Amino acid sequence: MPADIHTFTLVITGAPYSSQAPETALGFARAVLRAGHTIDRVFLYGEGVHLASSLASPPSDETNWTRAWGDFLQEHSVPAVACIASALRRGLVNESEQKRYQLPASNLAAPFEIAGLGEWVESTIKSSVQSSRVIYFHGGA
Amino acid sequence: MPADIHTFTLVITGAPYSSQAPETALGFARAVLRAGHTIDRVFLYGEGVHLASSLASPPSDETNWTRAWGDFLQEHSVPAVACIASALRRGLVNESEQKRYQLPASNLAAPFEIAGLGEWVESTIKSSVQSSRVIYFHGGA
Amino acid sequence: MHTLIVIDQPPYGSWGGRESLDMAFSLAAFDQPVSLLFIDAGVLWLKQGQEPDGIYQKSVERNLAAASIFGVEALLAEATACHRFGLTDNNLINGVTRIENTGTTLQQYQHVVFSG
Amino acid sequence: MHTLIVIDQPPYGSWGGRESLDMAFSLAAFDQPVSLLFIDAGVLWLKQGQEPDGIYQKSVERNLAAASIFGVEALLAEATACHRFGLTDNNLINGVTRIENTGTTLQQYQHVVFSG
Amino acid sequence: MHTLHIVSKPPGNTRFRECLGMMGEQDALLLTGNAVTALADSTITLPAMVYALQEDVRARAIDPRQDISGQVTFDDMVSLTIRAQRVISW
Amino acid sequence: MHTLHIVSKPPGNTRFRECLGMMGEQDALLLTGNAVTALADSTITLPAMVYALQEDVRARAIDPRQDISGQVTFDDMVSLTIRAQRVISW
């Protein structure tokens, strides 16, 4: 990898329809790839996990941020992970958590996945290299 | 109804696991009934709609606020309504909205229902009577 | 009974202001008297020339400019906040009344509401 | 690379502080150097005698008192904020280092993180 | 008491400062949640009539100031909302 | 530039004030979301190196001050995060 190619991890902690964090992060993510850099992972934490909800149905004249992010992630094969502890508290579960906790449904949108903070720790460790960056997108309230 | 009996509407705008609003509101609601007053309706607005999620699964040593509120509402036959516009944006839907928007699941916990702001307007109109109160419980961030 | 709905956050960064407008328009739709009060950075909702296409949101400027048509009785703005954010007769949307003493204004409404 | 996690909100009113602790403990579990910095009203996390049973939450005081056992290198607290909220040697939990200049402290860490 | 002002946000929040700035002389303040930290904040001047939810004060190990009106239970809070001519939540 | 500080909260938020108070002299500030309203806020003194996301400035019809470093695109933002020795989001 040439020295001027950088690897980014994006951490989103603000929810859509409550904060601009998912929008700002997506604009940034597109610019990262446009410049030829790579995104190794998007990590949703705290309120940010709501971005991965398959049930969000904003009015037709508002952006569906789950879909906009999902399309971007799939098109560019970027993995995105919601923190399991944040997700379970806030009612965001995949099929395996649905079974484990005997819940009536699951609502995790593809291609988002659920995993532990270890994924974030891994990105943090990697970012000690000069060509690596972890950038946080917080809510704006 | 004797003059000293009051009717309360509670509006919750803060989400569980992000704010204390559902906890403060429940403590207040219990005290309202203890004093012999009545609660005509609980209205969830904005972030507050997350309280009605059937999928919230906090760690076993944390309170499940959806369940605590659900038990209270059922025991005392108090109706609780999540604002439809807030709920749809934030991925909180019942079976009829699931069908209408062709969503993969529904996640509204019983006995919560989904309805429009008209329910809140109705409570507001009623509160012009001296024996009626609308009390708001906001997040604390 | 007149309701005063208060907005104290800038537009677009959170949804609280939009949900305040929804409350105001709902009251108006049921013929209930309602006014909006903008304080602190909330006065920026009232500035002309907002162009939120680039952040993929709808402008609220048109909704506010049409507030009186929808039945909202008054758009009130804290005068000191307007001064602080450079809002003048030249760049405020139409129909805004600037008020000097928000505390006195607050006293005049039986029902004062923040959306969150 | 040493991570500094900053907490600036009081305990119990929101979950941000707990989620900051989770981050710190996760880094420590993977043997990554991490410290916690409490500023502004966040210093109240460090006060002895917290009893959150009545609001149906778990005390964070014990977690913080055990932070060094979990591998968190330091609990740092802004001295002026401690003074402002009446935190002294007598009511701070054990193992807290008060710092005078948070700006200088911030300069020393490559990775500075808020949980939200 | 004319108006009961209920505040749940900490004293550094703009909402808290707006509330203090707009309160009338006959009004009372009720601190809930993170707002109870105002009792321990030496930079905040509170009005004459101040109440704070007891469980929130205990949770945060706040030493109440001697000069405030007192800690209240949820039962007291219900009474306050009834005694007040109007209630504003900030 | 040593550190790039990214702020998304409005200037009345304690986080914004904490950031201003802890910035070093070699640091730059990038305003995003509601933080861009600081450009229009006559009570805020901004540091020498200030950038603001163009789309957020336009959304809110903010007239940028003459003395600031300028409006930036997301492409510029990526460059700034790479040029900086470290990035802190507030």
pLDDT digits (tens, 9 = 90+) for A105-141: 999 999 999 999 999 999 999 888 878 999 999 998 7
Domains of chain D (ranges plus CATH)?
Answer: 3-114 (3.40.1260.10)
β-pair partners for F87: F4
Residue A130: closest C-alpha in chain F: F85
F interface toward A at CB cutoff 8 Å?
6, 8-10, 13, 32-35, 53, 55-56, 73-75, 77-79, 81-82, 87, 89-90
User: Using the beta-carbon criterion (under 8 Å), do A19 and C14 form an inter-chain contact?
Assistant: yes
Band of pLDDT at residue B35, cut at 50, 70 and 90: very high
pLDDT at F82 over 50: yes
Q: How far is CA A23 from CA A26, A30, A138, F6, F74, in A?
A: 5, 11, 11, 15, 11
- Closest to C114 (Cβ–Cβ): which among E23, E24, E90? E90
Residues of B in contact with D7 (CB under 8 A): none
CB E6 within 8 A of CB E30: yes
pLDDT exceeds 50 at position B1: no
Return the percentage of chain F with pLDDT > 90, whole number. 89
Measured between alpha carbons, how far is residue A17 from residues A141, C54, D96 in Å?
Answer: 12, 16, 39
Closest CA in chain D for residue B64: D56
Angstrom distance (rounded) from CA E51 to CA E71: 6
- Rounded to a whole number of angstroms, the distance from the CA of A139 to the nearest CA of chain F is 7
Chains that touch D (3 or more CB pairs under 8 A): A, B, E, F
Contacts of B67 in chain A (CB under 8 A): none
Indicate the average pLDDT of chain C: 96
Strand partners, E88: E5
Is residue F61 within 8 A of residue C51, CB to CB? The reply is yes
What percent of chain B is modeled with pLDDT above 90? 91
ipTM: 0.97
CA distance C36 to C59: 17
Establish whether chain D is in contact with chain C, requiring a minimum of 3 CB pairs below 8 angstroms.
no
Contact at 8 Å (CB) between C23 and C115?
yes
A10 Cβ neighbours under 8 A, 6+ residues apart? A25, A28, A29, A39, A41, A42, A43, A134, A135, A137
Q: How far apart are alpha carbons D66 and C9 in whole angstroms?
A: 39
Q: Residue D2: pLDDT band by 50, 70, 90 thresholds?
A: very high
Q: How far is F81 from chain D (nearest CA, A)?
A: 13
Helix (H/G/I), strand (E/B), else coil: A9: strand
> How many C-beta neighbours within 10 Å does residue A126 have?
17
Residue A3 pLDDT class (50, 70, 90 cuts): low
> Half-sphere exposure of residue F12, counting CA atoms within 13 Å on the CB side?
22
Of how many residues is chain F composed?
Answer: 90
Verify C-F touch: 3 or more CB pairs within 8 A. Answer: yes
* Chains contacting chain E through 3 or more C-beta pairs under 8 A: B, C, D, F
Is-contact D92 D46, C-beta < 8 A?
yes
Using the Cβ of E14 and the Cβ atoms of chain F, whether some distance falls under 8 Å is answered with: yes
Closest Cβ–Cβ partner in E13, E77, E87 for B31: E77
* Structure tokens belonging to residue C116: 């969150």
* Phi then psi dihedrals of residue A110, to 5 deg: -70, 150
- Which of A39, A83, A109, A114 is labelled catalytic? A83
Cβ neighbours of C60 in A, within 8 Å: none
- Distance CA(A8)–CA(D95), nearest Å, equals 35
pLDDT higher at B49 or B1: B49
CA geometry: angle E48, E53, E59, nearest 5 deg: 125
Q: In order of start, what are the domains of chain A with their CATH numbers?
A: 7-56+63-137 (3.40.1260.10)
Alpha-carbon distance B140 to nearest alpha carbon in chain C (angstroms): 10
Show the domains of chain F with their CATH numbers.
3-89 (3.40.1260.10)
Q: Is C62 exposed, middle or buried (0-12, 13-18, 19+ CB in 10 A)?
A: exposed
Render each residue's pLDDT in chain E as its tens digit; 90 residues.
899 999 999 999 999 999 999 999 999 999 999 999 999 999 999 999 999 999 999 999 998 765 566 999 999 999 999 999 999 999
pTM score of the predicted model: 0.97
| 3-state secondary structure string across A102-127 | CCCCCCECCCCEEECCHHHHHHHHHC
Average pLDDT over residues A67-95: 98
Give per-residue pLDDT as tens, F45-78: 999 999 999 999 999 999 876 566 699 999 999 9
Which of B12, B18, B24 is the mutation pick for testing E, counting most E CBs within 10 A?
A: B24
Write out chain E residues lying below 8 Å of B37, CB-based.
78, 82
Q: Please measure the distance between the N-terminal and C-terminal CA atoms of chain F and give it in whole angstroms.
A: 18
The identity of residue B23, as a single letter, is E
Average pLDDT over residues A73-94: 98
Take residue F16 and report the two structure tokens written for it: 């914004």
Cα–Cα distances in angstroms (integers) from residue D30 to residues B79, C91, D26, D62, D67, in the given order: 48, 55, 6, 21, 14
Is C44 close to F56, i.e. CB distance below 8 A? no
Give pLDDT, residue E1. Answer: 86
Average of pLDDT values for B102-127?
96
